[in-house]
Amino acid sequence: MESLDPRVNRLNLSTAELTSKAPLDQLGTYEVFSQLREGKPYFHVGPVHAPNKEMAFLFAKEQFSRRQTCTGLFVVETRKIMVSPFTEGEDTVYNYIEDNVEGDGSEVKTYELFHLKKRGKQHEHIGTIECTHLEEGLSMVKPEFINDKPVFNIWIIETSDIEFSQEEDKIIWNTLPDKKFREALAYKAADKIKEFKERQL
């Protein structure tokens, strides 16, 4: 096989018949949340596949904060996210949360709470809950949200399962505004077309 690309020719590609690749060697799945501006809430942006949290963070940085502004990232393994049932229309998930659930006396843990406020959109970080077990935690925040606009789905993640970007990580987003060559505005050419047309007359 002769390619037009000298680099491809140097690869000495095998020209064997098409075959399947080796059996599954899939990495774990992580969900990524990003913050577009300081003080704004974090939103779920999508998944990455990685062998551990640190690598997931690197992939997330590349995949979800390469082109958009970003001031922070959360990364968490997908299977560590607890997902509530979904509701519809005017029915809020908080209708299904029990009132006044007591703590069970065990150690207090912290959890991050996420709401889905509109079908078709993505989950938004709402805040942190401290409680001994989840039912207690949800029952604690229920009064705050039960009369609000409906919440269609809740995600809860134990805070210690999340890899958060740190203050010193922010340096990785410093150069974003400088990369003007990735913006449409850097490619204005109307004058050139006009000049070309005038020359043709």
Partner 1 sequence: MYGGGNTFEHIKSNGLENEDPEKLVEFEARIQRGEKIEPNDWMPQLYRKQLIRMIEQHAHSEIVGALPEGTWITRAPGFKRKLALMAKVQDEVGHAQLLYSAAETLGKSREQMIDDLINGKSKYSNIFNYPAFTWADSCFISWLVDAGAIVNQLANARGSYGPYCRALERICAEESFHLKYGHHCVIHMATGTEKQREMMQAAINRWWPPMMHFFGPSDKISVHSEILMRWKVKMGSNDDMRNQFLDMYVPKIQELGFTIPDKNLKKNEETGRWDYTEPDWEEFKRVINGDGPCNKERLAVRRTAEERGRWVRKALLTPKTEYVAPLA
* Contact predicate 32/48, CB 8 Å: yes
The length of the chain is 201
Q: Is 120 left (phi over 0), alpha (psi -120 to 50) or beta?
A: left
Q: Is 123 in the site for partner 1 (CB under 8 A)?
A: yes
Q: Is 177 in the site for partner 1 (CB under 8 A)?
A: no
H helix intervals, the chain: 6-10, 53-64, 134-145, 190-200
Cβ distance to partner 1 smaller for residue 147 or 200: 200
- d(Cα 129, Cα 46) in Å, to the nearest integer? 23
Q: How far is the CB of 195 from partner 1 (least distance, A)?
A: 7
Q: How far is the CB of 46 from partner 1 (least distance, A)?
A: 6
How many H-runs (helices) and E-runs (strands) does the chain carry? 4, 8
Q: Is 62 in the site for partner 1 (CB under 8 A)?
A: yes
- d(Cα 147, Cα 136) in Å, to the nearest integer? 19
Q: Is 119 in the site for partner 1 (CB under 8 A)?
A: yes
Residue 47 tokens read as: 């998944």
Query: According to CB under 8 A, which one of 20, 166, 174, 175 is a site residue for partner 1?
Result: 20
Residues between 88 and 117 with contacts to partner 1, criterion CB under 8 A: none
Q: Is 120 in the site for partner 1 (CB under 8 A)?
A: yes
Long-range contacts (CB closer than 8 Å, 24 or more residues apart) made by 171-180: 172/61, 172/65, 173/65, 173/69, 173/70, 173/71, 176/65, 176/69, 176/70, 177/69
Q: How far is the CB of 97 from partner 1 (least distance, A)?
A: 19
Query: According to CB under 8 A, which one of 90, 160, 182, 201 is a site residue for partner 1?
Result: 182
Selected range binding partner 1 among 72-80, 127-135, 157-165, 170-178, rule: CB under 8 A: 72-80
Query: According to CB under 8 A, which one of 40, 41, 54, 67 is a site residue for partner 1?
Result: 67
Q: Which residues bind partner 1 (CB under 8 A)?
A: 1, 3-5, 7-8, 11, 13-15, 18-22, 24-29, 31, 44, 46-52, 55, 62-63, 66-68, 77-79, 81, 83, 86, 119-120, 122-123, 155, 179, 181-184, 186-187, 189, 192-193, 195-197, 200
